[in-house]
């Protein structure tokens, strides 16, 4: 059985974006320690799962980053080359999105089907409503919460609308030079 990992950046007070989707509070002065951690997190991943809202920026960003000789690197190529599944009820397959399929199938059914297939791990990035629904349905196996050294006044939470409590077990706490601390939890 494949595992579904959530990798998300958040503020100290639990927001993944500002109330108007601001991301200016994120710490981007990443040094080798956190870059190596993220690369190792992706070593076993062969599928990326996204909601439509995030996919519309995420996929074109990584494609342009990997096509630019000044910014291309192994990680950007991995983001483009990895199979992606985008969940949307409003768009169909995007021909210019490399290695991507768009589905509007039942999220729970499709994620469980992906997890039952042979292959490596699956990683989800979001967006907020999409991630919240996956958490609420108990579909995420590993939570990698990249807590930034910032607090913001209001924003987009991912744990606010849970229909039942989520029991988690802390597996690892990893601080990095840039001030970000990763909290790795698994579902109990």
- In order of their start, the domains of the chain are 4-19+27-187 (3.40.430.10)
Q: Please give the pLDDT value at position 88.
A: 83
Write phi, then psi, for 44 (nearest 5 degrees).
Answer: -95, 0
Q: Give the dihedral of Cα atoms 52, 188, 34, 41; nearest 10 deg.
A: -70
Residue 54, CB half-sphere, CA atoms under 13 Å: how many?
A: 20
Q: Please give the pLDDT value at position 58.
A: 83
Question: What is d(CA 65, CA 93) in angstroms, rounded to the nearest whole number?
Answer: 21
Cα separations in angstroms, 124 against 43, 130, 149: 14, 9, 22
Q: Is the pLDDT of residue 53 over 70?
A: yes
pTM to 2 decimal places:
0.93
Contact criterion met (CB below 8 Å) for 51 and 84:
no
DSSP letter for 112, please.
H
pLDDT digits (tens, 9 = 90+) for 142-168: 999 999 999 999 999 999 889 989 999
Q: Is the pLDDT of residue 172 over 80?
A: yes
Contact criterion met (CB below 8 Å) for 174 and 33:
no
Q: Please give the pLDDT value at position 32.
A: 95
Cis link prior to 68 (omega < 30° from 0)? no
Q: Please give the pLDDT value at position 92.
A: 59
DSSP letter for 31, please.
-
- In 3D, which of 61, 26, 57, 60 has the Cα closest to residue 155? 26
Q: Give the dihedral of Cα atoms 163, 105, 47, 188; nearest 10 deg.
A: 20
Question: What is d(CA 131, CA 145) in angstroms, rounded to the nearest whole number?
Answer: 12
Q: Is the pLDDT of residue 96 over 80?
A: no
Q: Is the pLDDT of residue 46 over 90?
A: yes
Q: Within its chain, how far is the Cα of 160 from the centroid?
A: 18
- Name the average pLDDT for the chain: 91
């Amino acid at each position: 059985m494949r595992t579904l990992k959530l990798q998300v950046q958040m503020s100290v007070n639990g927001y993944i974006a500002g109330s108007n989707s601001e991301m200016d509070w994120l710490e981007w002065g990443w040094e080798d320690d956190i870059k190596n951690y993220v690369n190792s997190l992706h070593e076993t991943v062969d599928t990326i799962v996204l909601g439509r809202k995030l996919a519309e920026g995420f996929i074109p960003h990584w494609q342009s980053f990997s096509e630019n000789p000044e910014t291309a690197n192994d990680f950007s190529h991995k983001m483009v080359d990895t199979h992606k599944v985008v969940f949307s009820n409003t768009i169909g397959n995007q021909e210019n999105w490399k290695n991507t399929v768009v589905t509007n199938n039942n999220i729970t059914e499709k994620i469980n089907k992906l997890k039952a297939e042979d292959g490596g791990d699956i990683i989800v990035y979001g967006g907020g409503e999409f991630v919240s629904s996956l958490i609420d349905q108990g579909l995420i196996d590993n939570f990698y919460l990249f807590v930034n050294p910032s607090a913001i006044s209001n924003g987009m939470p991912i744990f606010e609308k849970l229909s039942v409590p989520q029991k988690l077990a802390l597996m690892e706490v990893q601080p990095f030079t840039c001030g970000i601390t990763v909290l790795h939890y698994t579902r109990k």
